[in-house]
Each structure stands twice: as structure tokens, then as C-alpha cells.
Amino acid sequence: DAPDAWNLTTGRGDIVIAVIDTCVDYSHPDLAENIWINENEILGNSEDDDENGYVDDYYGWDFVNDDNEPLDDYGHGTHCAGIIGAVGNNSIGISGVCWNCSIMPVKCLNEWGFGYLDDLIDGIYYAADNGADIISMSWGCTMYSSALEDALNYAYSKGCLLIAAAGNDNTCVKMYPAAYNNVIAASATDEFDERANFSNYGYWVDVSAPGTNILSTLPDATYGNESGTSMACPHVAGIAGLILSKNAGLNQSQVSTILKSAVEPVNSAKYVGTGRVNAYQAVSIGFGVAKITYPSSGTSVGKGIINITGDASANYSLLYGEGLYPENWTYIGNFNGPVWNETLGTWDTSSLENGTYTLRLIVNGSLLDEVVIRVGRIILHVGGTGEGNYTSIQDAVEDAFDGDTIIIHNNTYNESILIAYKNITVKGGSDTGVVIAPSGNASSGIILFYANSTIENLSIRDFSLAAVYTLYSACTIESLRMENNSIGIFSVGESVVIRGNIINNSYEGMWLAVRNSTIVDNIISNSTIGLDLFSIIDDPLLNDNPNQNNSIQGNEITNNTIAILVMDSLYANIEGNDISSNGYGIYAPFTDDVEGECSGTCSFNFETNKEETDSPYTDFWWEQVNDTVRYLVPKNGAEFAIVEESYENITYDNAICEDFSDEKINGSDDNNSIPPGTVLICHTAEGNYLKMRIDACGYNLQFTYALLYPYNITALMNSTVSSNTIINNFYGVVLANGSNNTIYNNYMDNEINAIDNEYNTWNISKTLGRNIVGGPYLGGNYWSDYSGVDTDGDGLGNTKLPYNSSGNITSGGDSNPLVVRVYNINQDRWYYSIQYAINNADDGDTVKAYPGVYRENIVISKPLRLVGDPVIDAHGGIGISIERNDTFVENFTVYNFSTAGVYAHNISFTIKNVTINNFTIYNSDKEKGIYLYSVTQSTISNCQVNDTFDAIYIEHSSCNTITNNTIFSNDASGIFLYSSSTGNTIFNNTIIDNRDGIYLDCSANYNTIKQSTIENNNRYGIYSTYSSNTFIEGCSISSNHECGIYLRWGSSNNKVSNCTLYN
């Protein structure tokens, strides 16, 4: 309806529309008459006549080249300018929407259509300060910038109407500046008033406008057709120009209301604003303000009374309809206006079904605003059956509101999922049944962008970049299985939780540039790097130092080249991880120059700066044959190349471009003979690049080298490494870089345990606390190569000098080394915990646990002897669980348990020949001290059991011997024989101060109780019900409060002989 609009106005020259873009061809014959001119500037006098800071800015300013000739060398800005204001009725080309307005050229984008944020910000300030009424911005990015928002707010405060393109990625991801509060966001429609298939969409979009195959001006007096929201934005800007031309003095809120009200319906399943703008309606409609400020579009509200707030300049109505673009509306009510920033009305959502609704405000019968919201929280299903299920995960994500949950049913989904600006939960039925795999060129499985969402219980595989890629999202990634991806989890952000995931066969398991985050209980295996703490970008949102205050706990990182690579990390807590069977356990590399030397013939590893004979990680082998012949041979996959550049000029960028050879060093003779002064590049098997210079001749190889990285790194600083199991790696901990870290209470059993740069502390000052082996830690670490002893039993080795792990900790060392206390006598091997020793024992082995408190729940699933004098703190679990025949356990103290202190059982067969000897079991109210279930031919002897519920509980167990035990102060029974427990012998026990001394129930028949002392129990000495043929002989039964022996219902054929009974 533009011709009808032009019957009312074609625009006014004093309405200035700034085009911030690649600029405008201001000499174009269809634009020249409408180009804004800075009348306060004298062209060509090289003076800043108007003192605005820009010399000779007669036609605007070029912020790309910082000059006063803002020429369009790309064409994009000229095309946008023609849509806004190409001259009309001039018999050439086209007519712009507002073809008598003035166009201010502001060049902020270069010849490729790209630009720097600083230039765009400067352009906005320039337009605002030099009289622009409208600023048209057909550009954007997905990154929020407070500096850009500040510039736009400044322009808004100067009276500028701000309009921007929504973007062309066919996504709901917010595009800035369009998504800022004071900016009108424009999507694109096609010739059928349908959403253009490329156009972005979402509840942040305000209106839509034509954007496909649009004819407009191009540089050099030409024309062309272009498509994009870049074309929609100037259509809206041109209509805004017509509105201001007809109604001078309207403010931004009034113009924005008119634009959102003067629309035609659109045909779209995605939200693209209130509709497609209509120029005639825009200049013929009345003016006022209609704006809903709460609830805001794209948010959720609960069930109940909702207070709707906003602005209404006159009498108004509130309505709602179900879904997007409803056909039917329900009136909430009609109200008197005006209302400014107060409650417009209340809406009772109690009776509504959970779902999507559009809330509309109509002012004065024609002006409107609307928001799309979710009422209640809903569960969306993908891949299930029945009405309302989605076939695509992405479709479900886009329809979800904050608080919604998406359940994905078992299937394989070939797609990449983008979750942006949403707080939702996406979960699968199982981590193996729901598989996400690539489709087309998709490089990442799930991308979270400013999304504080939860992802759980999925399998993601075969992606070329990352299984999960998060940017600035305080998200939770939990219980995922990630296989065969280049990176398992690539995360940049804050307050990220990564928990319980399994990552296998990736180049990097996790690449993290995060802070205040938790990485816990993950399993990472078979990767080049398990966990990489490396901020690869200078990120202003994270203050250029993202890896801070992270907790890395309870992870299992095995079978990787490097388990944990620390490139930069401050205040980390690396605690309680199982780091085993890797090349490097924890590795912090260096980048400064290092002076190296090899004497005679040797092998050398750059990563550790050590001569290492027979190491699988050495980088070269050196041999000095005579004064003139020197051989340098690459080893273990390392590659070398001789270069012409000087050592000082080599950087990471030019190092990675060099050619390499496995067989010989490029540039050397056939024998790899290297003269002094040679400069080389090396690519090591660990993936590092380095530069190296041969410094001197002679029989020793002297050289200078440095590892090369594209960014400055700080490695590990001010962090704690504690209570980790670091075993079976070639290198345990290598701290070649970093400082002020404390490393204590770790169990170290590696080929080379530790290498240090002498700026860290390998113990704490003899402080009590929880120990990795169960007792109190007192200072340092456990070392497999420690040869000292602990003669005074304080848990510390008797070292006169600081222990430094075979000389590899170059300063300080561990002055308080802890001593391992579990020993397999048959294997002649020490272990750090009882359970670990049991797991690695062979049938029939004897495992000895030395004195101390062990905080463990022990499971014995093989025949062996477990001896010693330890204290087991079961910390709320079963103390010792015996699951196999022929087990002997002796001389343990067990406390703080649930179910049982000792539990002998197996549901598949009967256990026999178990001996429990010389135990002390106490302090677990309402639980069983020793519990035999389906056990036969076993012995409980010389044990003390007190302060439990049932001291010894025997169920479905026969032919066992319970002898020489002391049982007292238990809340229920001293010994309870239950449920067909027959043929047991209870001999020579002391059972006092319990509720009942011995209790037989439910066919506990043919048992023998003899020569035991049973006294001072609160009820009965011996109590039998439904149990027969019990033989009681030679017992002293006295001072039991109700009865010495009580044979009750169903107890028959019992015999009592030679007992002493009195009360």
C-alpha cells in the first residue's frame, strides 16, 4: 500500500535517516538529491568547522578508514539506502519508501561487509550527535556488548528511533543490536507474506517487512536484487520516516507503537513480530502508546492471578488467545486510560491449560502491542508416539519456554541442536538409547549459547568439533556418553556443572575456559588430552582470565596421552580424582626459554626437560661421534625440520607451517648430522611445537628451546592438588610452569612420580584431616618409591631430609611424606587402600592393613585372608561385605555403619568357611553388628560387639560357630537366630546389658547354646518362639529383668542342662 501512503506523504527532507553500513554511493543519480549534507561544515577546507571532532565531514564519515570520504566499496549500504529513500518521480530506477527524506551516510563496515565493534559504536554516536532522527542498522552479531548497548541508549536519549535487522540464519538466536530493548527488530517476509526461509525469528522480534528479491540501488549508478533482513530493516526505517514526516514531534514510543500496530497478518509457524508493516496504515492510523512491560515476550508465568503492567495512552482493552497469531481472542476486560508504567489489569490463568498464549493490548481501538508467553511449565516429547510429539529435537527446543522439559525417546537423531537464551531441560531416556549424530556439515552436537539449561542422559558421537559446545551458559551437562568426537565438551563461560559424563576416544575429552565451575565424577579415556584447562581466547566477558576457582573432583581419567593439561588456571581445586594409565598425569607446560644439555649419548624429553633413558616420550636421541660428527635422531613420533629463520623470530604461527619428516630431519645430511648454531622446529608426539637452537659444539649437546603456543599462558597457579590417586602413568605430576600450588595427600605410583619447577609446596604443615587411604592426613603425599619407614606410627615417613621423589622435585620436596599401610604379603606390594588391595589380590592372598582409620566400605568378593589392626569408618555404609567362600577376616574395628558392620551374604549360593575373628564393632544405632545371611560352616570368634541394634544376626544360616565373643549394650538382641537358621553352636560367649541375650525365632531349630554368660539383659536371657530342639547347656543365666529362659509359642523339644539360673 505504499502508493496510498504516498498520497498522504512522501517524506520530508528534514527527517534524517542514518544508514550505518558499508556506506552509501552518494553520487548515485537515484540517491544524490536525498543525501544528507552537513551544512555546518565547509567542504574541502581541511577544518573542523562545526567542531564535532571530524574534519570536512560534509557527506558523513568513514570510520573504517578514518576519513571524510565515506564511499561504498561493497554495495550493501547503497542497496539499503535505496530502499529507504531513493528519489521518487524522477523517471529513473526505483522509488524509496520515504523518497523525500535525507540519508546520512556513515561507513562502519569494510569492503567485505565486515566491521569492528568500536567503529560501529563510533558511528552510532556520530549519527546521534549530528541530527539523525532514525538509525537503520542492517547488520548484527550474536554477541551481547554492553558498550554497544550504551551507544544505542545514548542515541535513544537523543531522540533517535533505532531499527535493526533480525539476521539471516533461520534461527531464534538473538541478533544484536536488534535484540536490545530500545531497538525495533525486523524480520523478513516474502511476496506471499510468509516468513522468508532465511529470516531469524523469535519472541524478541517486533515486526516484519519484505526482504526477498528486493530491487534497489547499487554503486556506480547500477541496480540489483538482494534478499535478507538487511532489506527488511530499511523498509521499516522508511515507513518510520513517513510517520515522522506526517506527524512531526512523535517520540520513539509512539512511532514504535504505530509500526507494530499498522501491520498485515503473516503466515508463519515462527514468531516474526506483530505482522508485516503496512505503509498506508502507518500514516493514516492515530497515534499514542501501547506497551506491555510485564509479562515480557518469551517468558513463562504460573497459574493464578497475573498482574499485567505497561503503558496505555488512552482507553484500552486486554485480550488473550491460544498459540501464536491466534484466530480467536478472549477479552480480559476494557479499561480506562491513560496508564503509565502501572498495572493495566489482572489475568486469571488458573483455569487455562498449560501452553503458549498471546497476550494483546489494544489502545484507542487501533494501537496494539502483544507478547507471547507460556502459561505453566510443560513437557515436550521428541520421537515418542501420539499427538504433540516432535520428530526434531531442534523444533522442540525452539518451541520450549524457560522452565520446560524436553524428553527425547530412544532413537538416533541426525541433527545439531542449538539452545540459545533459554533455561530448559533436555534429557534422554538413556545415555545409550538416545543417539545424536551429525547431519550434513554439522560440527557440534549440542550448542548452548547464553543458555542456563540442563542436558542429560544422551549419547553424542562422531562430531568434527565438539559433542557439546557451550558459550556463556551457566549450564549443567550431566550423564552424557560422548564418543568419537574431536572434543567431548568445549565450554567457555561461568558456573558450569559437568557431572557424571563418559567421554571416550576424542582428541580432547574436555576443553574448558571456565570459572567458578564444577567438573565432577566424569570418566574420560582413550583421548590425546583428557581435560584441557586452556583459555584460547582473550574474552572480555570473562576478563581475559576465565580458568579460575574451578573444582575438579572425583573424575576417572585413564588411558590418555595427557590426563589433565593445565595451560592456565588459578585457584583450582583438583581433588579425589583417579588419574591412571596415562602418559602424563597432571601436566603444566612451560613456554620460556630453557637451557638443556645432553652429555655423551642420551635421550631427551622436551616436555619434562630431562634426559630419560628408555622413556616412550623422549623426543630425540643424541650421539656425539667425534668433534665434527653429531647425530640428532627423532624418536617416538617426534618430527624435526631445520629452518633458516633466527631463533628469536620463530613464533607458533610460522612453526606450524614447517615441513617435517619421520625418517630424518629435513635440511640435515643423510645421517642427521647437525652443526652448531643450527635452528630447528620440532613437533613432538604430545602435539607440541617448539623451537630449538644448538648452542655449542663439543662432546656435550648444549641447546636452548621453548615450547610455542599462540597465546600467553600462566599454567597452574595458587591451586590445590590433593587426595588424588595418580598411578600407573609414566609421569605422575609435571609442573614445568606455574607457582604457589600445594600438592598433598595424593597417592603416587608412577614410572616417574613428579617433576617440579621448584615454585610449589609438596605438603602441608602436619595438619589432621581426611586421608586418601582412610586415616588422617598429616602433611604430604604417598610415594611408591619412598624407602623410609614410619617407626613412631604417626603416618609420616622418618626422613631426615626432604623427600623429593628420586630427585625430580628440584627444591623443597615433600618433608612430610605419608606412608602406605596396606600390604599384600603374597605379592610383596603396598596399596593405598584396603579395597584397592583386595581388588588386585589373587585368590588365597593375605592382605594386611596396618593401624589407622580407613574410611572405606570394603567388599570381599574373592577367597583371601584380611588381617591387621585397622579401624574402619564405614561412613554410613556397610563396613565389610563378604561375598565369597573361604574368607578369613581378623582383628578389625568397625563403626559408623548402616545395615551391618560385617555382612556375610550371597543371594546366588551359600557362603561357607568364613572366619570373623577378634573384631570390635560398635556405635551404629538400629543396625546389625555382624549379619550372616545364607552362610554355613563359618566362625565368629573373639569379637566385641556393642552399641548396635542386633549384635550378631543370623538368618537362613546353619552349622556356624559363634564363640568367645563379648556382646553388650545393644538395643535389641545380643545374638538373633532367625528364619530356619539351624545347627549353629553358640559357645563360651559373654552377653550382657542387651534387650534380649539370645533370641530364636521362625524355625531356628537344633541350635546349641552352651557355656555362655548371659546376664543383666533388659527382658530375657534366652527367648525362643516357633523354634524347637534347642540344646542349652552349662550357661550362667542371671539378673535378666523379666526371665532367664522364655520358651514361647511353637517352641518344643528343647533341653536345658547344667545351667545356673537366678534373678
Shared domain for 362 and 458, answered yes or no, is no
Query: Is residue 604 domain-resident?
Result: no
Query: Is residue 164 domain-resident?
Result: yes
Strand order across the beta sheet in which 747-749 lies:
411-414, 434-437, 459-461, 481-483, 502-504, 523-525, 556-558, 578-580, 725-727, 747-749, 782-783
- Residue 284 backbone class (left: φ over 0; alpha: ψ -120 to 50; beta: rest): alpha
Q: By three-state DSSP, how is residue 805 classified?
A: coil
Q: Under a CB-based contact definition with an 8 Å cutoff, are residues 266 and 276 in contact?
A: yes
Q: Which residue among 467, 485, 503 closes a domain?
A: 485
Query: Is residue 609 domain-resident?
Result: no
Question: What's the CA gap between 377 and 373, in Å, rounded?
Answer: 11
DSSP string, 656-719: TTS--BSSS-BTS-TT-B--TT-EEEEE-TTS-EEEEEEEE-SSEEEEEEEEE-SS---EEES-
Q: Exposed (0-12), middle (13-18) or buried (19+): which is 761, by Cβ within 10 Å?
A: middle
pLDDT at site 670: 65
- 827: which 3 cell numbers? 605379592
Question: What's the CA gap between 548 and 714, in Å, rounded?
Answer: 12
pLDDT at site 786: 83
Containing domain of residue 850, as a range? 823-1062
pLDDT at site 812: 78
Shared domain for 854 and 994, answered yes or no, is yes
Q: By three-state DSSP, how is residue 435 classified?
A: strand
Encoded amino acid at 1, one letter: D
Q: Which candidate in 227, 230, 416, 603 is catalytic?
A: 230
Question: What's the CA gap between 648 and 655, in Å, rounded?
Answer: 12
Q: Under a CB-based contact definition with an 8 Å cutoff, are residues 886 and 865 in contact?
A: no
Question: What's the CA gap between 848 and 592, in Å, rounded?
Answer: 48
Give the residue carrying C-alpha cell 561385605.
881
Segments of the chain with pLDDT less than 50: none
Shared domain for 1009 and 869, answered yes or no, is yes
Shared domain for 504 and 646, answered yes or no, is no
Question: What's the CA gap between 196 and 480, in Å, rounded?
Answer: 36
Domain CATH number, residue 922:
2.160.20.10
3-state SS, one letter per residue, for 980-1037: CCCCCEEECCEEECCCEEEEEECCCCCCEEECCEEECCCCEEEEEECCCCCEEECCEE
Shared domain for 235 and 273, answered yes or no, is yes
pLDDT at site 594: 85
Shared domain for 102 and 25, answered yes or no, is yes
Q: Exposed (0-12), middle (13-18) or buried (19+): which is 788, by Cβ within 10 Å?
A: middle
Give the residue carrying C-alpha cell 589407622.
852
Query: Is residue 558 domain-resident?
Result: yes
Encoded amino acid at 298, one letter: G
Q: Which candidate in 76, 79, 235, 905 is catalytic?
A: 76
Q: Which candidate in 21, 25, 431, 950 is catalytic?
A: 21
- 944: which 3 cell numbers? 566385641
Taking CA atoms, 119 is separated from 166, 624, 915, in Å, by 20, 59, 82
Query: Could you tell me how many residues make up the chain?
Result: 1063
Query: Is residue 452 domain-resident?
Result: yes
Q: Which residues contact 7 (CB under 8 A, 6 or more apart)?
A: none
pLDDT at site 547: 83
Q: By three-state DSSP, how is residue 146 classified?
A: helix
Query: Is residue 597 domain-resident?
Result: no
Q: Under a CB-based contact definition with an 8 Å cutoff, are residues 507 and 483 in contact?
A: no
Shared domain for 470 and 500, answered yes or no, is no
Q: Under a CB-based contact definition with an 8 Å cutoff, are residues 317 and 333 in contact?
A: yes
Question: What's the CA gap between 383 and 278, in Å, rounded?
Answer: 41
Question: What's the CA gap between 886 and 902, in Å, rounded?
Answer: 15
Q: Under a CB-based contact definition with an 8 Å cutoff, are residues 684 and 634 in contact?
A: no
Shared domain for 441 and 325, answered yes or no, is no
Taking CA atoms, 140 is separated from 271, 471, 931, 1041, in Å, by 19, 18, 70, 87
Q: Which residue among 485, 505, 521 closes a domain?
A: 485
Q: Which residue among 798, 819, 840 closes a domain?
A: 819
Query: Is residue 608 domain-resident?
Result: no
pLDDT tens by residue, 526-544: 999 999 998 765 555 555 5
Active site residue 805: no
Q: Under a CB-based contact definition with an 8 Å cutoff, are residues 257 and 250 in contact?
A: no
Question: What's the CA gap between 516 and 693, in Å, rounded?
Answer: 41
Shared domain for 362 and 403, answered yes or no, is no
Determine the Cα angle at 932 with ends 927 and 936, to 5°: 170
Active site residue 21: yes
Shared domain for 451 and 505, answered yes or no, is no
Question: What's the CA gap between 1012 and 928, in Å, rounded?
Answer: 21
Domain CATH number, residue 151:
3.40.50.200
* Neighbour-count burial for 326-350, b at 16+ CB within 10 Å, e otherwise: beeeeebeebebebeeeebbebebe
Question: What's the CA gap between 879 and 866, in Å, rounded?
Answer: 13
Active site residue 76: yes
Question: What's the CA gap between 948 and 721, in Å, rounded?
Answer: 38
Which of 540, 653, 543, 562 lies closest to 607 in space, CA to CA?
Answer: 562
Q: Exposed (0-12), middle (13-18) or buried (19+): which is 440, by Cβ within 10 Å?
A: exposed
pLDDT at site 626: 63
Cα separation of the two ends of the chain? 111
Domain count, the chain: 6
Shared domain for 223 and 271, answered yes or no, is yes
β partners of residue 411: 434
Shared domain for 534 and 519, answered yes or no, is yes
pLDDT at site 699: 64
Query: Is residue 279 domain-resident?
Result: yes
